[in-house]
Amino acid sequence: MPARDAALAIGDGRISITPIPAKALAVKVTPRGGLAVLGLTLTESVFVERGGSWSESGPTAPGAFSLEPFPSPTLVRVSIHGGPQAAPELLAEERITVWYTAPTAIRMLMKAGTDLVRAHAYPSLRFLASVGEPLNPEAVLWGCEAFSMPFHDNWWQTETGGIMIANYAAVDIKPGSMGLPLPGIEAAIIRRSDDGGGEVVAEPDVVGELALRRGWPSMFRGYLNNEAKYRSCFIGEWYLSGDLAKRDADGYYWFVGRGDDVIKAAGHLISPFEVESALLTHPAVAQAGVIGVPDPVAGAAVKAFVELKPGVTGDAALRRDLLAHARRRLGAAIAPRDIAFVDSLPRTRSGKIMRRVLRARELGLPEGDLSTLEGGA
């Protein structure tokens, strides 16, 4: 590979279990102001953003593949299909300074083992961050073990246009927390009322809807052809995100779940993320997805779907052990009633577990739009 003086290499966190057929690729600025992508192979694709829309080029044969001319700035995202070793290799060889990845990619590295990461040196790496879905506390701390630095979780939405809440470098990390509002951003927990209004919750550790005071510079201006939906997102000066969260006494925000993901069982509001995080503390578990299923007495019961680490057999004894482990961590009212072992969980191409697909498959309901599902089915 040539020198990287003007090279840019970006992986989007997509990892599969097929061998990577060539070294990582480079993206360089051409004399005409375009971009040339070097070393593409048949299993890689390049996604190029032009004016807010993405287009895909590739897969292509190995060799140089020029994309020009391009306006500035242009973001090129490269999908690397390789084993878990692809990410550490890219971080080391390309001297990446900031790695912003998805929780699924982190958990897959955890599943592969710390030795895989420690086999490389990362002299340029100075910051690790995660996005796409909440990052469980164990993954935050695993960053310290594997990379000698923690992963920093944060929160934002397409509607917000940028990160709003984060464990940024200047503050202490609380593993499992989204962090603190960025300077200039005013966040709050809102309790909706039956008359369509809402009130700001001042007390700490109360679950409500995460809201932002309108007027931040990157705030969205509407939904295409749906003005009514846009207006419904606001109560007075507050944008309501649809995410349930709580704020602790130190001002840190903690994700509970999407309003339609939270499980209401026997009077309890149960966060799927909390149950998944508890299961991930078991040494046999690689990934977990949690949904609510109908229960004639409690209204809903918690069911977990679990991917196991390599070499672990999902049998009745392990199921009993996991159920007991969850009860010890969470208590009987919140712990799952049932656990199913699966080869893989449905997730988006960015790594987010698709709980609605788990729910549809469990209940025999239509699965809906699967265009963002990894693998397309």
Q: What digits encode the pLDDT tens for the residues 149-176?
A: 999 999 999 899 999 999 989 899 999 9
CATH number of the 182-258 domain: 2.30.38.10
Beta strands 165-166 and 35-38, pairing class: unpaired
- Is the whole model's pTM more than 0.75, yes or no? no
**What 3-state class would DSSP assign to 30?**
coil
Domain boundaries, the chain: 7-155, 182-258, 263-376
CA dist., res. 332 & res. 44, Å (int): 46
Average pLDDT of the chain is 78
Encode pLDDT of 10-67 as tens digits: 333 322 222 223 333 333 333 333 333 444 333 344 444 444 443 444 443 333 334 4
Residue 224 has pLDDT above 50, yes or no: yes
CA dist., res. 143 & res. 149, Å (int): 6
Encode pLDDT of 288-308 as tens digits: 999 989 888 778 899 999 999
CA dist., res. 248 & res. 246, Å (int): 7
Residue 376 has pLDDT above 80, yes or no: no
CATH number of the 7-155 domain: 3.40.50
Contact 319, 339 (CB under 8 A): yes
Assign a CATH topology to domain 263-376: GMP Synthetase; Chain A, domain 3 (3.30.300)
Q: What pLDDT, on the 0 to 100 scale, is given for residue 371?
A: 76
Provide the β-strand partners of residue 8: 27
CA dist., res. 25 & res. 34, Å (int): 16
Encode pLDDT of 303-322 as tens digits: 999 999 999 999 999 999 99
